[in-house]
């Protein structure tokens, strides 16, 4: 029989075993509205009702109206391959009531507030026994495919550990490749560091201008950091985002995510955040083409060392 309807569900790829999410409701999500109709702006009298019906706010987290996953999904279709209900949680994280703000312009103390909010919410989500992995992330820029210009991120809470995340988590059970980076990294790759962490261009970068932010302390997630350490990490996020925008004197399109411990890996996982920018030059985008998409084997045109020099400025100025 034909499959109809848009109920969220997973289908398992028969060759790789990976789970793929299908959700027809996402086709109707809000697409690049005018600023006056932005659903993430604070609502004032006389304006259209927004998703955040208050006069002003600092950080807001709420359920995504166009979620790929839902807590109570319908039964999946009966097919020739394995299926399961599309259970999970998708939330929106609005960074600021300011429609023009970004991680590079929001004050570091406000970024720290954002990290505090993420720490609390991600802990709550992981307390759900049906959730195996939680990832806060941001897609920035129309080049990435964002449907809202307002500064925001999202949180996905998944019922399974994605294969790539599990592979990375398993690596920490053998060794901690992120330990002692302040002493081991070439100074050329370092963008900024403070008492609690370091921001750098990784020598293993898969994207031009890729940036990692890693706490010196091995912790599983944001909640495991002290408030002071989260503030230090927020400062590094602000510096990194600012350097990305300064590289070509324009907002840098990127994907950004906090990589936190999946269920069962809290003792060995090392929290880290990753910016994956999509420009390789001021007028050139980094597209994932056939080799990258079909094999996962990345081709990078810009050496990490050269990218770090650009991000630090020709004089090597560090944050």
pLDDT band at 6 (very low <50, low <70, confident <90, very high): low
Work out the widest C-alpha separation in the chain, in whole angstroms.
65
Which range has the top average pLDDT, 25-29, 55-59, 230-234?
Answer: 230-234
- The CATH code of domain 30-65+88-311 reads 3.30.428.10
Residue range 184-205, pLDDT digits in tens: 999 999 999 999 999 999 999 9
pLDDT at 4 over 70: no
Q: Supply φ then ψ for residue 206, to 5 degrees.
A: -100, -15
Across the range 276-289, mean pLDDT stands at 95
Residue range 124-155, pLDDT digits in tens: 999 999 999 999 999 999 999 998 999 999 99
pLDDT at 260 over 60: yes
Rounded-to-integer distance, Cα 258 and Cα 273, Å: 4
Do the Cβ atoms of 261 and 271 come closer than 8 Å?
A: yes
Q: Report pLDDT for 44.
A: 65
pLDDT at 1 over 50: no
List CB contacts of 271: < 8 A, sequence separation 6 or more.
214, 215, 218, 219, 220, 221, 222, 224, 225, 258, 259, 260, 261
Please state the domain extents for the chain.
Answer: 30-65+88-311
Q: Supply φ then ψ for residue 213, to 5 degrees.
A: -125, 120
Q: What percent of the chain has pLDDT over 70?
A: 94
* Tokens 């604070």, located at residue: 42
């Amino acid at each position: 029989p034909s499959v109809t309807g848009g109920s969220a569900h997973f289908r398992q790829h028969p060759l790789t075993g990976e789970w793929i999410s299908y959700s027809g409701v996402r086709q109707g999500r809000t697409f690049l509205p005018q600023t006056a109709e932005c659903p993430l702006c604070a609502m004032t009298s006389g304006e259209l009702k927004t998703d955040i019906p208050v006069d002003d706010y600092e950080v807001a987290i709420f359920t995504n109206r166009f979620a790929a996953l839902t807590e109570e999904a319908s039964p999946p279709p009966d097919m020739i391959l394995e299926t399961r209900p599309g259970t999970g949680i998708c939330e929106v994280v609005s960074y600021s009531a300011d429609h023009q703000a970004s991680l590079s312009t929001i004050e570091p103390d406000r970024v720290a507030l954002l990290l505090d909010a993420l720490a609390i919410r991600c802990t709550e989500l992981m307390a759900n026994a049906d959730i195996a992995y939680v990832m806060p992330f941001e897609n920035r820029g129309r080049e990435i495919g964002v449907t809202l210009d307002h500064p925001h991120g999202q949180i996905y809470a998944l019922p399974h550990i994605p294969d790539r995340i599990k592979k990375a988590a398993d690596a920490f059970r053998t060794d901690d490749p992120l330990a002692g980076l302040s002493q081991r990294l070439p100074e050329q790759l370092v963008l900024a560091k403070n008492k609690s962490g370091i921001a750098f261009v990784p020598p293993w970068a898969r994207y031009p201008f890729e940036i990692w932010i890693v706490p010196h302390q091995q912790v599983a997630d944001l909640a495991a950091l002290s408030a002071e350490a989260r503030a230090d990490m927020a400062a590094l996020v602000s510096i990194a985002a600012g350097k990305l925008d300064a590289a070509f004197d324009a907002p840098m399109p990127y994907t950004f995510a906090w990589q936190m411990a999946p269920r069962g890996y809290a003792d060995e996982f090392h929290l880290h955040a990753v910016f994956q920018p999509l420009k390789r030059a001021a007028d050139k985008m980094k597209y994932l083409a056939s080799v990258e998409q079909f094999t996962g084997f990345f081709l990078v045109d810009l050496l990490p060392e050269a990218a770090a020099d650009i991000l630090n400025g020709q004089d090597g100025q560090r944050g």
